[in-house]
A and B are shown apart, each in its own frame.
Chain A
Amino acid sequence: MYIIKRNEQHTYDAIVVGSGISGGWAAMELCKKGLKTLLLERGRDVTHIEDYPTAHMNPWDFKFGLNNTLEDRLANPVQSNVYSPADKHYYVNDYEHPYIQEQPFNWFRGYQVGGRSLTWGRQCYRLSDLDFEANSKDGNGVDWPIRYKDVEKWYDYVESFVGVSGRKENLKHLPDGQFLNPMELNCIEKHLGESVNRYDTSRILTIARIANLTRGWHSRGPCLSRNLCSRGCPYGGYFSSNSSTIPAAAATGNLTIKPYSIVTELLLDENSRKAKGVRVIDTISNEVFEFRSKIIFVNASTIATAGILLNSKSTRFPNGFGNDSGEVGHNLMDHHSSAGAQGQHEYFSNLYYKGRRPCGFLIPRFRNLSADENHGFIRGYNIQGRGERLEWIDKSRSVHGFGKDFKEQVITPGPWSVWMGGWGECLPYHENKVILDPLLKDKWGQPQLRIDFSFKKNEKTMMNDIRETSGEMLERAGFKDIRTFIYDKPGGSTIHEMGTARMGADPKTSVLNKYNQIHSVKNVFITDGSCMTSSACQSPSLTYMALTARACEYAFLELKRGNL
């Protein structure tokens, strides 16, 4: 049913490449403004509710539990690190979608309508001027061309649609948003929070700000505390393109959505110096088509977007589309989330919880809030964590013995525990990059991407600080059996890739201007993670959504003014 017919419409007002969290927003905004919009997705279709096959499965319905089979792990050495049989169908097959790791790099991908918005972590945090000014203050990367005041109302706008539950904390460096009622902290988390704040009043512990609904919202939700989000939520308890933006876009009557459509190139009109459309491979028929439009939004995800730009060569752009600066593909970032601590507590043995809250807590950034601090690294991290009682899964390893008493222990709640880890900023290093491999192709004859990424001294020093401060905070709060750690996770593991087509004021050193518009090709906008000029330490999706909505408004006005 998806095969593109030769005689069908090939011209639209707008084309959006990619249907993940930012592409879904672009499609919805453009459709709502009345533009006939073509949304292209390289993978299969996933319809809200209908295509969540595991959503109602019980633990005993999985033949191997949530273990991936050996055969599966060998076939998918990267993706199997993050999926389980419960959500495997939302991840690509590594064999069919190869890439080259110059250094170990986990590129986790979901090629389907909705992309990784189906499986995302759902944390929603605003950036602040501490982040937007960071590059200019310490001289790393280039300055952001925008400040908090430029995106503030767009954060309001997207939060009001997404539905973000959270608590106001009046922090300048982590601005409050339009929140639904927060989820609640449990007793061990409150205890830890009080202790953290008592020893250092600049630190607080708050509930995660999360795109899970604590009340019905735009005919979705509320969240029913199943904590099975990554299988797709049949109750619409959390925000995804599938549950939210795509249905809203479709409701306008302006949306055409085409799965199984790989965009290989952006096409340049050499006379007007504008993009005229995109070239697409239909992955069912293997035929190649061109689609035309007045404006194009590229939201293929950070690494894939860079790949499309680099693959779009012309006389005007011999090094890739819009790549006068040579920065396309460079400055790849990912948060690190390797360091932290865990421990157990003797308190509250008579207390428990009901339901499975789909999030933990957050200790917002407290390092380097002022310029006079010196911890041996610049920028900062926030700490995400979770308090819960140890259950059978932990006890099968830690409880002694076997038999009746062992069974009794295994099936009753164990001591309270907290696990927490730092999500840390990664600096934009020019040498962390993605390029097209000159020789290797994928099964569609497209160049494979070669990723070269590593964390460096600043990130590693920060990890040590996270490990120490996390252990210290647990110790002060009376935790026992504390273990601190730095996991050795390769880049990409946090699934926050960013920066390969960065925004900036100067076309010589950046790819996009302050409206996410390619400096040299005004009718192309890029609003996925590739636009990020620095990574900050906040989970980035909310910022992609806000920047997308903002760019759509600008693109629409410019189109109306006849400037595009």
Chain B
Amino acid sequence: MDRRNYLKSVLALIGLGIGSFSLVKWFKQTTPKFVVTNRDWEKRRSLITELAEVIIPTTETPGAKEAGVGNYIISVMSKCYDQSQQSAFISGLDDVDHFTKSQFGRLFMDCDASSRYDAVQHFSYSLVESSPLLLKIKNKLFGKSFFFMLRELTVEGYCTSQLGSTRALTYDPVPGAYEACISLSEHQTSWATK
């Protein structure tokens, strides 16, 4: 990317910041609102599990739920993320329930598949995805959004799980000699590890 495009992106971001991301909200996101405890995670374990399943559903290969992604997200969130990220994540989860309550009159867990899909769609729209650079800058300035963290961790948890690695991806623990150029066969999935 040249300098001009870079500047354009930065300007666009500033515009975006004024438009949709007030300083108040930023402050709210980067300051822990409350101390997140294990109980907070426990209460939301099934919600997280089901959200992950909407992001990576069961198809001809296992989905996030069967792969145990919900537990992975909670382990990583509670041990590897700081309190402000954790509380932003918990707030995000609660926002999901608020949303489904106002739209469909019930909690996410009580929604049918199509309402769950609509709810996740709503939150995925709040993610700026037009440019990877914009997203990167936004993540840096404002912290990762709830949905971004959720999706990133869902993919990570799924692709490093035993089911995801061996059934959806192709896991090759001891490859032998490196083959630099092979034809991609039809339906070939990615290598599970780099």
Chain A positions near chain B (C-beta within 8 angstroms): 56, 58-60, 62-65, 67-71, 183-187, 214, 222, 224-227, 349-357, 388-389, 391-393, 395-398, 400-404, 406-408, 410-413, 481-484
B67 nearest CB across to chain A (Å): 9
> Cβ of A389: which chain B residues have Cβ within 8 Å of it?
190
Say whether A59 contacts B175, CB under 8 Å: no
Give chain A residues whose Cβ lies under 8 Å from the Cβ of B7: none
Q: Which of B15-23, B32-40, B77-85, B101-109 contacts A (4 or more CB under 8 A)?
A: B77-85
With a cutoff of 8 Å between Cβ atoms, the chain A residues found around residue B79 in the complex are 64, 69-71
Instruction: Answer whether A403 and B178 are a contact pair too, CB < 8 Å, given A59-B160, A356-B191.
Output: no
Q: B55 and A65: CB pair below 8 A?
A: no
Shortest CB-to-CB span from B138 to chain A, Å, is 12
Q: Say yes or no: A403 contacts B1, CB within 8 Å.
A: no
A279 to nearest B CB, angstroms? 42
Cross-interface CB contact of A59 among B59, B61, B192, cutoff 8 Å: B192
Given contacts A65-B76, A391-B194, is CB(A406)–CB(B179) below 8 Å?
Answer: no
A408: chain B residues within 8 A (beta carbon): 59
Q: Is B179 touching A354 in the complex (CB atoms < 8 A)?
A: yes
- Please, which residues of chain B bring their CB within 8 A of the CB of A59? 159-161, 165, 192-193
Rounded to whole angstroms, the CA-CA distance of A63 and B72 in the bound complex is: 8
Chain B residues close to A by CB (< 8 Å): 1, 54-57, 59, 61, 72, 75-76, 79-82, 117, 120-121, 124, 129, 132-133, 135, 148, 151-152, 154-162, 165, 168-169, 171-184, 188-194
B41 to chain A, nearest CB (A): 14
Contact residues in B for A349 (Cβ distance below 8 Å): 184
CB-CB nearest in chain A for B63: A407
CA distance A484 to B5 in the complex (A): 12
State whether A70 touches B80 (Cβ < 8 A).
yes
* Closest A residue by C-beta to B147: A402
Contact A406 to B56, CB < 8 A, known contacts A183-B178, A353-B178, A413-B190? yes
Q: List, in ascending order, chain B residues with CB within 8 A of A400's CB.
A: 129
Q: Could you pull out 17 A-B pairs where Cβ atoms are within 8 angstroms?
A: A59-B159, A59-B165, A65-B76, A65-B156, A214-B177, A225-B177, A225-B178, A226-B173, A350-B184, A353-B180, A355-B177, A356-B178, A402-B151, A406-B56, A407-B55, A407-B59, A481-B132
B190, A411: Cβ atoms closer than 8 Å: yes
Chain B CB within 10 Å — which of A59, A183, A403 has the most? Answer: A59
Is the CB–CB distance between A64 and B177 below 8 Å?
Answer: no
Q: Which residues of A lie under 8 Å from residue B193 when comparing CB positions?
A: 59, 227, 356
Given the contacts A58-B165, A397-B152, A413-B184, A69 and B179 also touching, CB distance less than 8 Å: no
Cα of A65 to Cα of B162 in the assembled complex, Å: 12
Residue among B76, B165, B175, B178 making CB contact with A60, cutoff 8 Å: B165
Q: For A64, give its contact among B57, B80, B152, B192 (CB under 8 Å).
A: B80
Tell whether A186 pairs with B117 under 8 Å between CB atoms, given A65-B157, A402-B54.
Answer: no
In the complex, the answer to whether B156 meets A354 with C-beta atoms within 8 Å is: no
Set B56, B80, B178: member contacting A410, Cβ < 8 A: B56
Q: Are B56 and A353 in contact (CB under 8 A)?
A: no
Given A224-B174, A356-B191; A67-B169 close (CB under 8 Å) = no
Beyond A402-B151, A482-B1, whether A355 also contacts B173 by CB under 8 A is no
B174, A226: Cβ atoms closer than 8 Å: yes
B107 to chain A, nearest CB (A): 20
Quick check: A353 and B182 within 8 Å, CB to CB? yes
Least CB distance from A167 to B in Å reads: 13
Q: How far is the CA of A62 from the CA of B79 in the complex (A)?
A: 13
Q: How far is the CB of B183 from chain A (nearest CB, A)?
A: 6
A184 to B181, CA, bound (A): 9
Q: Are A225 and B152 in contact (CB under 8 A)?
A: no
Across the interface, do B135 and A227 meet the contact criterion of CB distance under 8 Å? no
In the complex the two chains form, is B190's CB within 8 Å of A64's CB? no
Measured between beta carbons, the chain B residues less than 8 angstroms from A407 are 55-57, 59, 168
A482 proximity list for chain B (CB < 8 A):
1
Beyond the given A355-B172, A413-B184, please list 5 additional residue pairs across the A-B interface where CB-CB is below 8 A.
Answer: A64-B79, A70-B79, A224-B175, A388-B194, A391-B191
Contact A410 B159 (CB under 8 A): yes
A69 touches B162 (CB 8 A): no
**Chain B residues near A403 (CB, 8 Å)?**
54-55, 57, 117, 120
Q: CB-nearest residue of chain A relative to B187? A: A412
Complex CA–CA separation, A265 to B76 (angstroms): 45
Distance in angstroms from A424 CB to nearest chain B CB is 22
CA distance A398 to B148 in the complex (A): 10
B189 touches A412 (CB 8 A): yes
B157 CB → nearest A CB, Å: 7
Question: A402, B179: Cβ atoms under 8 Å?
Answer: no
A69-B80 contact, Cβ under 8 Å, with A187-B180, A398-B132, A412-B190: yes
Are A225 and B175 in contact, with the CB atoms below 8 A?
A: yes
Contacting residues, chain A, for B161 (C-beta < 8 A) = 59-60
B189 proximity list for chain A (CB < 8 A):
411-412
B187 to chain A minimum Cβ distance, whole angstroms, is 9
How far, in Å, is A409 (CB) from chain B's closest CB?
10
Complex alpha-carbon distance, A186 and B180, angstroms: 5
A63-B75, A400-B129 known; A352+B160 contact, CB < 8 A: no
Q: Report A-chain residues with C-beta under 8 Å of the C-beta of B162.
A: 58, 60
Which residue among A214, A351, A401, A407 has the maximum number of chain B CB atoms within 10 Å of its CB?
A: A407
B76 contact from A67, A222, A225, Cβ within 8 A: A67
Q: Which of A56, A227, A396, A481 contacts B155 (CB 8 A)?
A: A396
How far is it, in angstroms, between the C-alpha of A400 and the C-alpha of B120 when the chains are bound? 13
- From A56, which residue of chain B is reached at the shortest CB distance? B173
Residue of A nearest to B165 (CB): A59
Among the interface residues B154, B172, B178, B193, which one has the most CB atoms of the partner chain A within 10 A? B178
* CB-CB nearest in chain B for A484: B1
Task: Report yes or no: A410 in contact with B155, Cβ–Cβ below 8 A.
Answer: yes
Taking A70-B82, A227-B194, A395-B155 as contacts, is the C-beta distance between A355 and B184 under 8 angstroms?
no
Give the CA-CA distance A59 to B183 in the complex, in Å. Answer: 26
Please tell me if the beta carbons of B182 and A351 are within 8 angstroms of each other in the complex: yes
Q: Which partner residue on chain A sits nearest B71 by CB separation?
A: A63
B174 contacts which chain A residues (CB < 8 A)? 224, 226
What is the bound-complex CA distance between A62 and B75, given in angstroms?
Answer: 11
- CB neighbours of B117 from chain A (8 A): 403
Please report the C-alpha to C-alpha distance between residue A294 and residue B141 in the assembled complex, in whole angstroms. 60
